[in-house]
Structure formats: C-alpha cells, structure tokens
Amino acid sequence: MTQWSWTYALVDLDKIDSALPAGITRFDYTETDEGGNVTEVHPTYRQATRSRQVGLGAKNDTHQIVKFSQLDFETEIPALQAEGFSLMPQSKAAELVASWAPDGPE
Amino acid sequence: MTAVIVGDRARLPSGLDLTGNRNAQAFSGRAWGTDGTGDYLSLGSPSDLDGFFNTGGTFTGWFNVATSSHYEKIFDFGTATTLSLQADMSGYIFTKDWSTTDGSWTYNGGGGASHGMWFHLVLSYNASSTGNDPALYINGVLQTIDGETTPVGSAVADTSNKFLGIYNDGSSNPYDGEMADIKFITSTVTAAQALEMYQNPEQVLPTGISSSALKCWLPLCDYDIAADTTVGGLYFQDASGNGNHALSTNGAMSFGHPVAPQLGLRSSSSRVLVNNVSGKQASATLQSAPGTTFTVACWFMEMANDDTNIIWRMGGTTATDDDFLELYLNSSGQLQVYGDGSVTAGSPAIGEWHHVVVVSDGSSPYCKVYVDNSEISTSGALGQAADISTATLIIGDQAPTLTAFPFDGVISEIAVWDSVLTSGNVSTLWNSGVQGADANAVDGGNLLNWYKCDNNVSLTNLSDNSTNVATYAAADQNMVTVPEGSTADLSSFGTLTTPRQGSGVFCIPPQRSVTGKLGGVLTSPQVAFGTQNWTMGCWVKSSGYTDSYQAIWQFRPGNDRGPRCYITSATAIQMDYGGATTTDTVSMTVSSLMGNWTFVVLQRLAAASFKGWARKISDSSWTSQAEAVDVGDMTDPDSGVCGWGYRADNDAYNLNGPLAFPRIWLHGSDTPWVEAELNAIFEQGKRFLVGDS
C-alpha cells in the first residue's frame, strides 16, 4: 500500500536504541514519576514508535527499516541524512526488503 | 462464556439504502493496509487455532495486493505452514508442515487477480491424510494445482505464533497491500460454499457451516485513524467471540475500498442483555401476581451449556416457597420448565435466537411450551398447576436468595401476561422477530410487565399497564449491540428486526461492557485548533447514566490542550477546553437527557468567547452557556488518539448509546455558525434521527 506521507530510513541495527538526531524533536515526550517529577525524554528510534508516526520495520543482519511520517525537509530529513542513513520512498523500501527475503516459499 | 466481541453490520450508503435494502454487491469499506516494509498482524498462538488444517480448516479473506515479488506471505503459522504469493501476482504457493516431508502445492496464475485489484481467497485443506490436496478458490473459482510435493509423515501441530502478512521471523517477506474480513474456520468448505462466501460477502459463514467452526474473524476495519499514523500496537477485534484478536505491528488503516466488506461503522442502537456470570440478574415486581393463568414469552440465545442456565424465574424467591416457575436450560442443553416437577421441551440449538412461550391455564398438564412458534411435546410433568402468588420476576438467574445459575447468553424481550395467549398470539410474537413485536398489541389488556432488555442501567417496563422497572443486581451490566435488519448470520448474536436508523449513526461499545463490546471505536486524528475559531458538535443518545462520565468527544490527547465533552450526570453536559494559557469549562443542565437524541455543540467564537449548546430532538430551543476566558493556543503538542463517544484509555467512559454526525468546522478567523445556522444543522440531523426518538 503506497503511503506517500512516509519516509523510510535504512538505519544501522546497532543504532535502533540510540537517540534520534537532536534536530528531530517532534517525538519528544515527558515522563512523570510517582513523586510528580517530570522528565523530558528525547527518544530512541524504538521509543519514538510510541507516537505511531515512527515505525520499526523489517531488518536484516545489519540494518532495519525505520519509517517516519511527514518528515520536514528543512531539519528532519537533513538530520537523518547527516547520520549517514539512506532515505527512500515506500516503493524502494519495499523492494529492498523483498530482496532480503529467504529464497523459498517457506 | 468466552469474551464475546461482535462485529456489527456496517454498510455505508453505497451498500444499503436507507430502508435497509441491499444495493447489489457494493461495499465501501476500510481495510488494514501494509507497505511491504515489515507491517504485520500477530495472532499469538491461541489453542483453538493450533493444528488449524490438521482435521480440516479453511482460511478466507479479501486481499488487494500492491506489489509482489518474492513469496510475500498472506499467512505464516510459524513453522512451514504458509501461504505465499508468487512474483507479480503470478500465482500462490501453499505449504504445510509435516513431520517427514512438508507438503507444497503451487498454483500458477493469479486466478484473475492482479496488483491493485480486490479479490476473495479461500484456502481449504484437510491434513488428516497425505493424499488430500488443498483447494484454493479465487473469487469463488477453484484453482488448478500446477506443482505438488506430496507430504510424508504426520501433520505437525502448528502451535507457534500465527502471523498475517509476514514470515514467521516478523521481518521477512512482508505483504504489500490491503486485507480485510479474514476468517479462520475449522472445517473444510465445498466449492459451492466457497462461491457463496465470494458472492455473499455480507454473510458471515456459508450455508451449512456451524458458527462454532468460526474460530477467528478479523473484519480489520476497527479504526478510522488516518494513514499518516500507524495502527502499530493496536488490536484488531476478533468478531467470532473467541478472543483471538490480532495485534498490529505498524500497518495503517486504508479507506474507500469499493469491494471489501466492512463492519463497524453503521450499526444498530438496539441492545440485548448479556449474562454469563453471577450477580448480573435483573429483578422486577410484576404488576400483579399471575396466579394460575398466565403467559411468559421471551427471546434468548444460549452461548454455552456449561451449567444450568436460568432464563427467568417467576414467583417464589425462597427455597421454601414452591409457588414458582422457572425456564432454564440444563447442562445437557435441554429446555426445561421447572416448578412442582419439571417438563422438558426439546434442546434448542446453541448460538441461535429462540422464542419460547410458556402458557399456563391452570389445568392439567398445567403448561404448554411453544418453542419457535411450535407447541412442543413435553416429557415429564409438573406435579400440580403453578400458582404464582408472589409478584416477582427474575431475569437471567434465580439469585440472589437462591443458588446462582446465571444464564450464559443473551436475552431479549421478556413479557408476562395475566392471561392465556392463543397459538395465534404466539405466532404474532414469533413472526415479529427479536425486538420486533409490540407486546401491548398482543392481548394488551392483560399484559403485566414487558422488558426489551436493552438498557444497561435498568430495564424499562414497556407495558402500558405498569411502570415497574427491572433493576440489576450489579451496576455494570453487560450489554451487546445486535445488528438490525433482515440479513441473517451477520454476527454471532444474529439480527434484530427493529427499524433501522438512518445512515450515519454510530454505535459505541456499550459502557463498561467488556464482555459485550463490539464494533469499532470512532477515532480521529488530532486537530490543530490553534487560535482559530471553530465549531464542533454531534448527536448523542445515552440510554442511562451509571457512575462514570460518558465521553461525547475527547480531543485532548495530552490532557492539557483541546476540547472535551462529557455527560456528567443524567441531566448534565460538561465541556472543558484547554489552551496554552489556561483551561475553562462550560456546564449545562439538560432535563430528560437520558434516552433522548440530543445535539451538542461547542464553539470558539473569538479569543475570549466560547459557547456550549445542547438541544434535545424534541426541544424548540437551545440550552446554552457562554464563557469569556481566553485559553490561548489550543493545539495539543502531544500525539494521541482522539475521538468521539469514548476515551481511549478506559471503557468506563464510553458513551452509553449511539452517536451520530460528528463534525468539526474550522472557521479560521471567520465568524462561526450563528444560532440560525445551528438550527439548520439541527434540523438536518433531526430528519435522520426522528424515527428513532
């Protein structure tokens, strides 16, 4: 299913639990502990999925697809590119993931 | 009884006209969509899906494939039991895990399906013998097997996690496209049945397949979340009643599909009582003690024969008072009338509506029993004629003073007459269907009490001769909404025959009704209210106030900015709205709010000018309240689910009834609707809803 509003990043597998680039603050959230203390969280790629505007997709031994909804061109896309990640549209991402698949119907 | 979740009928106007007539096979539905990069559904490993094909199973659903290049999975049952697509929709490959050599069957050619085209797929296979071949039907047509590896050994149990749309590692071979209306049936189907499923997509099961064989039914239309947000982490309801819900990883809702059957949006506000645990019975005082001549009629649907299931008890409420009569099903499924002795009157099928009328005329053999409009030859005998000298009626149990035997199923329309109904009267009731009869029009002068059993606060007595409500022993009674109209087999609770509501009415899962939850939830993306003017409103009809607020709308995902609206008592509506600066509240008292369609509106008229409005369908003017507080920028910075009639975090806040025509107008800096314009919008909605008021 084509999803025009999504951008797909090929992220190094060992960075999934690293913080998003500092320039991407849209998915930041706060946590309040039992004492009422509020902590601002700048999430990792995995934590950012709580927004449901970030999704962790298929992976191989070295990379995982991370998809982002409605990235802006001015700060967010350059921030991901600066990390060295390949960014691609849905069709390219689906094509790439298909190429990772086991070579048989089972 | 297992938790029952019922998918309710939901054709949009292109599917059915306003009188309920079907317009050919046109559906406009939602579906679950994937993008081919790792979206999938997981069913876990429920035991009733283990060994799914081993003694005969059928997998079916509607699919729309966007791309296929490398064995994209329709399903993967965790070992080697999979259904895959061949590249460019050039065919299908089914493999089944066997202990020695896995079976594999290849079908070349798409069967008429191609990329971007909705098609119906049925895969039916019985792995009880190595000699059996699976039957694959595309759009009702049996596909030819072009390649086969005959299995060797014994069929493996397939007890692993079951995936839809991906390989069993949760990553590889992701499906790219949409799917809807997935069903797992523990029975093989014939070619005629496969064709019937394709040709009659609004039918839950083909003719001849028992509802108990439907182990999982995923309509996949639960949300109306825009596709710029995933449905990852959300469950899609299993409408079969077996609790085999599907957890989505990523994925998104997809809309506007003209073929896929859709459930959940258009629904009934008619509800019936669900009982399955102790302490949920309803008790009433009859208008008078029936004595020796009386009639009791009811509709029921038993869900399980796990114990004695009492439908109703009339008369004596203590063990020493033998002037009573009970109607119940014993643990063998036999329908029995019990008083001084017992009478057995057949074994009505589980999972179907039955109409039972017990008539006593004071003479031997003391009572007649009509089941589904036929007088039943009974066995056994009541020792003497029942003489009901105590004017009590208990619905769904014999508790609280006697041992609890809660009815396990749903009950509707219990009526008691202080007279002997004729067989013609019984036929009238039967022919009117569930909730279709007016008991006051059937020997109305002798009607004592009559309950439709459609309210989870208390049961309204609809008899013209009495106002005694039936009260529940518990505050949080379970109800379930049942589809209206004549289409059979639409949900596991059948259909009702009450008049259909106009299009656009949405039924929220009944408040607190975890057991009887059904259908969809009317979610909405966040709205950027900002500092502009706006109007939002909808029609609501709460059937009663319990002890929790009932959400009308909630557009405040972070609980700090945005508007909310609640019913806060049986006569009160409260709206609060927050902004960057502060929050403020509008509170309005609306008499007779319960049970009446009411149009509720909140407006931002200017920076420091908000106004709430409410008007019942029968009102000639509005109740309103204005506030003069500037709350500041109202766009909530938090992401979260907003919606109508419910609060995402707690079923207790669900609206206790239907909701219609939710709308938000963003006016920018323009003047919002003035009263005359609100009047016009009110009249527009009223035209659709007046028949239900």
Q: Is B134 on the interface with A (CB under 8 A)?
A: no
Dihedral, B143, B149, B150, B151 alpha carbons, nearest 10: -110
Instruction: Note whether B174 contacts A95, CB cutoff 8 Å.
Output: no
Closest alpha carbon to A40 in A51, A50, A32, A48: A32
List, as one string, the DSSP characters of B286-305: -SS--BTEEEEEEEEEE---
Residue B365, token pair as written in the block: 């053999």
- Taking only the tens place, the pLDDT of each residue in B460-487 is 888 999 889 899 888 767 776 665 554 4
Instruction: Note whether B38 contacts A95, CB cutoff 8 Å.
Output: no
Closest alpha carbon to B155 in B132, B118, B121, B129: B129
| Tokens 């969280």 -> residue | A41
Do residues B385 and B362 lie in contact, with contact meaning Cβ atoms separated by under 8 Å? yes
- B-chain residues within 8 Å CB-CB of A101? 70-71, 167, 172-173
Backbone angles phi, psi at B177, to 5 degrees: 155, -155
Instruction: Note whether B36 contacts A101, CB cutoff 8 Å.
Output: no
- Dist. CA B115–CA B532, nearest whole Å: 44
Instruction: Note whether A5 contacts B228, CB cutoff 8 Å.
Output: yes
List, as one string, the DSSP characters of B374-406: EEPPPEEEESS---B-S-EEEES-STTTS---B
Distance from the A1 Cα atom to the nearest Cα atom in chain B, whole angstroms: 4
Q: Is B171 on the interface with A (CB under 8 A)?
A: yes
- B-chain residues within 8 Å CB-CB of A91? 67
How many of the other CB atoms lie within 10 Å of CB of B306?
10
Q: Is B72 on the interface with A (CB under 8 A)?
A: yes
Backbone angles phi, psi at B506, to 5 degrees: -120, 135
| Choice among A23-37, A69-83, B526-540 with the minimum mean pLDDT | A23-37
Closest alpha carbon to B113 in B122, B104, B105: B122
Instruction: Note whether A95 contacts B69, CB cutoff 8 Å.
Output: yes
Question: How confident is the model at residue B28, as a pLDDT?
Answer: 34
Alpha carbon B268 to chain centroid, angstroms: 9
- Dist. CA B503–CA B16, nearest whole Å: 9
- A-chain residues within 8 Å CB-CB of B254? 1
End-to-end CA separation in angstroms for chain A: 23
Backbone angles phi, psi at A79, to 5 degrees: -65, -40
- A interface with B, Cβ–Cβ below 8 Å: 1-3, 5-6, 8, 27, 29, 49, 51-53, 55-60, 65, 67, 69-70, 90-91, 93-95, 97-102, 104-106
E strands of B608-692, at which residues? 609-616, 623-627, 642-644, 658-668
Single-letter residue type at A58: A
Residues 6 or more apart whose CB falls under 8 angstroms from that of B188 comprise B56, B57, B58, B124, B125, B126, B135
Which residue numbers in chain B have pLDDT < 50? 1-28, 258-268, 486-490, 499-503, 514-519, 693
Q: Is B223 on the interface with A (CB under 8 A)?
A: no
- A-chain residues within 8 Å CB-CB of B227? 3, 5
- A-chain residues within 8 Å CB-CB of B167? 101-102
From chain B residues 150-169, the ones with a CB under 8 A of any chain A CB are 167
Instruction: Note whether A52 contacts B230, CB cutoff 8 Å.
Output: yes
Q: Is B102 on the interface with A (CB under 8 A)?
A: yes
| Tokens 């073929």 -> residue | B259
- Dist. CA B245–CA B237, nearest whole Å: 5
Nearest to B70 among A3, A5, A98 (CB): A98
Mutate to test the interface with B, among A29, A52, A88 (most CBs of B within 10 A): A52
- A-chain residues within 8 Å CB-CB of B69? 95, 98
Q: Is B665 on the interface with A (CB under 8 A)?
A: no
Instruction: Note whether A94 contacts B36, CB cutoff 8 Å.
Output: yes
Instruction: Give the residues across from A66 on adjacent strands.
Output: A9, A56
Question: Average pLDDT for residues A49-61, to the nearest whole number?
Answer: 92
E strands of B401-504, at which residues? 409-417, 447-451, 458-459, 470-472, 479-481
Do residues B143 and B4 lie in contact, with contact meaning Cβ atoms separated by under 8 Å? no
Instruction: Note whether B35 contacts A67, CB cutoff 8 Å.
Output: yes
Do residues A68 and A42 lie in contact, with contact meaning Cβ atoms separated by under 8 Å? no
Do residues B166 and B174 lie in contact, with contact meaning Cβ atoms separated by under 8 Å? yes
Instruction: Note whether A97 contacts B638, CB cutoff 8 Å.
Output: no
Instruction: Note whether A1 contacts B34, CB cutoff 8 Å.
Output: yes
- Taking only the tens place, the pLDDT of each residue in B393-428 is 999 999 888 889 999 888 989 999 999 999 999 999
Do residues B490 and B9 lie in contact, with contact meaning Cβ atoms separated by under 8 Å? yes
- Dist. CA B234–CA B41, nearest whole Å: 10
Instruction: Give the residues across from B88 on adjacent strands.
Output: none
Give the CA distances from residue B100 to residues B148, B303, B585, in Å, rounded to whole numbers and listed in that order. 15, 40, 70
Residues 6 or more apart whose CB falls under 8 angstroms from that of B483 comprise B8, B9, B267, B268, B490, B491, B493, B494, B495, B496
Question: How confident is the model at residue B500, as a pLDDT?
Answer: 42
- A-chain residues within 8 Å CB-CB of B639? 27, 51-53
Instruction: Give the residues across from B471 on adjacent strands.
Output: B283, B458
- Dist. CA B299–CA B297, nearest whole Å: 7
List, as one string, the DSSP characters of B49-90: GTTTTTT-EEEEEEEEEEE--S--EEEE-SSS-EEEEPGGG-
- B-chain residues within 8 Å CB-CB of A70? 228
Question: Average pLDDT for residues A59-64, to the nearest whole number?
Answer: 95
- A-chain residues within 8 Å CB-CB of B104? 105-106
- Dist. CA B54–CA B98, nearest whole Å: 10
Distance from the B261 Cα atom to the nearest Cα atom in chain A, whole angstroms: 18
The sign of the CA dihedral B157, B160, B165, B170 is negative
- B-chain residues within 8 Å CB-CB of A55? 38-39, 230, 232, 250
Do residues B166 and B181 lie in contact, with contact meaning Cβ atoms separated by under 8 Å? no
Residue bearing the bigger pLDDT, A105 or B398: B398
Distance from the B85 Cα atom to the nearest Cα atom in chain A, whole angstroms: 8
Do residues B332 and B347 lie in contact, with contact meaning Cβ atoms separated by under 8 Å? yes
Considering only alpha carbons, which residue of chain A is nearest residue B167?
Answer: A106
- B-chain residues within 8 Å CB-CB of A2? 35, 66
Closest alpha carbon to B413 in B433, B388, B442, B443: B433
- Dist. CA B114–CA B85, nearest whole Å: 11
- Dist. CA B497–CA B434, nearest whole Å: 6
DSSP A78: H
Considering only alpha carbons, which residue of chain B is nearest residue A100?
Answer: B172
Residue B121, token pair as written in the block: 């797929």
> What is the SS3 assignment for B16?
strand
| Tokens 């206790």 -> residue | B656
Distance from the B95 Cα atom to the nearest Cα atom in chain A, whole angstroms: 7
- A-chain residues within 8 Å CB-CB of B174? 57-58, 94, 97
Give the number of beta-carbon pairs within 8 Å between A and B.
117
Nearest to B228 among A1, A53, A59 (CB): A53
Cα atoms in the 13 Å half-sphere on the side-chain side of B86 = 15
Average pLDDT, chain A: 90
Instruction: Note whether B229 contacts A69, CB cutoff 8 Å.
Output: yes
Instruction: Note whether A93 contacts B36, CB cutoff 8 Å.
Output: yes
How many of the other CB atoms lie within 10 Å of CB of A74?
9
Q: Write down the ipTM of this complex.
A: 0.88
H or E element in which residue B149 lies: strand B147-149
- A-chain residues within 8 Å CB-CB of B71? 101-102, 104-105
H or E element in which residue B677 lies: helix B675-689
- B-chain residues within 8 Å CB-CB of A104? 71
Q: List domains and CATH numbers for chain B.
A: 29-257 (2.60.120.200), 272-481 (2.60.120.200), 507-692 (2.60.120.200)
- Rounded to a whole number of angstroms, the CA Rg of chain A reads 15
> What is the SS3 assignment for B605?
strand
Closest alpha carbon to B595 in B540, B647, B645, B552: B540
- Dist. CA B254–CA B231, nearest whole Å: 11
